[in-house]
Chain A
């Protein structure tokens, strides 16, 4: 019986068994940001410890960065304190920092890959649940808490238990107008928001073979939304082509050796999986959420659930979600009025997302009364969008074109919903209060669907609005 990539990476990185039975796993690359690291540095100082391998940690600032102005001090004194703390910590411990003045700053899960820091077969950790994104490269990437950030800083290792591996195959051909975001929203809908507890998800099949790296990142990013702390795709030629020439990728003869090593890391054809799930690409429709967790989704052509038709044990949860969303049982999701359109985040804030969205936005206008903001995932994405004329298309259409950061995905910065505003969002979480207002409402969707919502002022079927593809549900 062959081995999965997860198993191979585990074996090379497991240092020893700890007294409680967990494994001490070496972490090749540690990414940090301003929200979950200051307390870890504080603990390090309290214990009189140093950063053991500072060259293995990379820092950026993303969650609290204002996207309308980088003028310092930031208007929010708490945010200002956080960026100053991070600067102090990276300086004291000798850590590379992609600061706002570097031209390389951005969301941690965007800049790792674009600089070639994320590589196949690496173990990666970051105090951020969307670290699963890096699995797109065939890395095993852990979202961790702050105590574990301290552990990695101090020892470059952490105490972990081995997961089971679930292979998720998506075979066939995606219908026109169906994107990577729809694939992961569909997977979460099928397997549930807690279906991945105890598992690493290995994504594969024809759809993933054809996907670009950025599409793979979108899917891996939201693994945690399905309860799986880790999601990955086996490295292949697409992975190598993406990485070649990036600043931190190996060069010359080292590159050739790395590619040989990476190829051998991919799961064996006869690898053992603890579970296998097969999904038909043709069954996936443009998907939107209607509730308060990412598993509460449906095809854009569908109606929201009627709790009366569900078993009693499920009703309270459905009713709570519909009440928060101010939706009527059984109403079509299409046509719901939108107040805000948000395009960005570590899920969908990359160049290909803005390129695809701009294709349809060009020559159109944001509907009156809709506040539309576009937030590139990094300064490099922002620059590329300027150079390709994409930023101008967004501005012309009436979008606010912002600087790089997490922005309205989680509202730790000035970009927030107000009151019960409803946001068509390309981000990853529709939790109550997620976008900064306790009564704010979020509908998750692909970037092209966000553009369709922005120009119509309603939750819309982008295939209808833009005349692409066949109008089928699934």
Chain B
């Protein structure tokens, strides 16, 4: 299965500040009562963005200046809590293709990588400097270079981190692991014959 290699993501950015933003906030549980991921983009940060009557709250994603952004700048431990893939699905379906944060919760990180959406980490100072530049010029073009592990904007650049395994998966177009897993072939049957199994007895 040939997948698109993700070598760099280029686009406009938006800053969603705060640490420990959990997946209940990213996609409230009532939006999980679905049997497909279609339409989840609308659920993104819903209770943070809208009042119960549907009117808008002040939120970076409601700010017309940042409409069309494809790179999200976030704080530490982003995506903590529930394992719901609905959260990265909602972010992706709302048009985002990369996240830059101080750190990411592990399950969220894995779910995002498997959707081809890199979550790179950088220092708080670098992220805040970029956020300020974006606030001053929302049209600023930002590049997340997954191959070189750096973020570039205007005449500036800063280094970012990504586990080597995720970097390789993205750059080589192996971010969806199913093809590689299936290649194990008979190894799977051999393992199943050898390893413990819960059997009604």
A residues lining the B interface (CB < 8 Å): 12-13, 15-16, 18-22, 24, 26, 28-29, 35-36, 38-39, 42, 47, 49, 52-53, 55-56, 58, 63-64, 76, 78-79, 81-82, 85, 116-119, 121-122, 127-129, 131, 143-148, 150-151, 154-159, 161, 193-194, 197-198, 224-225, 227, 229, 247-251, 254, 258, 293, 295, 316-317, 320, 410-412, 429, 431-434, 436, 438
Contact = CB atoms under 8 A, between A and B. Distances in A.
A147 to B, nearest CB: 4
Nearest to B47: A438
Interface in B22-68: 22, 24-25, 28-30, 32-37, 47, 52
Contacts of B168: 19-21
Contacts of A411: 29-30
Given A29-B197, A159-B181, A410-B82, 14 more contacts: A15-B184, A26-B191, A64-B33, A121-B196, A122-B196, A129-B82, A151-B177, A159-B180, A194-B77, A224-B107, A229-B106, A248-B200, A410-B24, A434-B29
Contact of A293 (B20, B35, B169, B174): B20
B197 to A, nearest CB: 6
B85 A157 contact: no
A79 B106 contact: no
B72 interface: no
A18 B52 contact: no
Interface in B141-182: 163-166, 168-169, 172, 174, 176-178, 180-182
A28 B188 CA distance: 11
A145 B24 contact: no
Contact of B196 (A28, A58, A224, A251): A28
B105 A194 contact: yes
Give the most central of A13, A64, A434: most B CB within 10 Å: A434
Contact of B24 (A117, A131, A155, A433): A433
B177 A18 contact: yes
15 contacts: A24-B180, A28-B195, A36-B84, A38-B35, A131-B83, A144-B107, A145-B110, A148-B114, A155-B182, A155-B188, A247-B200, A248-B200, A317-B20, A433-B47, A438-B28
- The list of the 6 closest CB pairs from A to B, nearest first, reads A145-B111, A145-B85, A438-B47, A194-B77, A78-B33, A38-B35
Contact of B110 (A148, A155, A316, A433): A148
Contacts of B195: 12-13, 26, 28
B198 A36 contact: no
Q: In terms of DSSP, what is the predominant structure of the interface of chain A?
A: loop
Nearest to A38: B35
A156 B196 contact: no
A131 B82 CA distance: 10
A39 B39 CA distance: 13
A76 B33 contact: yes
A412 B196 contact: no
Interface of B: 18-20, 22, 24-25, 28-30, 32-37, 47, 52, 76-77, 80-85, 88, 103, 105-107, 110-111, 114-115, 163-166, 168-169, 172, 174, 176-178, 180-182, 184, 187-188, 191-192, 195-201
B81 A129 contact: yes
A145 B165 contact: no
B181 A36 contact: no
Give the most central of B25, B37, B77, B177: most A CB within 10 Å: B177
B93 to A, nearest CB: 13
Given A20-B174, A229-B107, A36 B76 contact: no
Nearest to B32: A35
A39 B36 contact: yes
Contact of A21 (B76, B110, B115, B164): B164
B25 A55 contact: no
Contacts of B165: 20-22, 161
A117 B35 contact: no
Give the most central of B29, B105, B110, B198: most A CB within 10 Å: B198
A145 B83 contact: yes
B22 to A, nearest CB: 5
A18 B195 CA distance: 20
A49 B188 CA distance: 15
B181 A197 contact: no
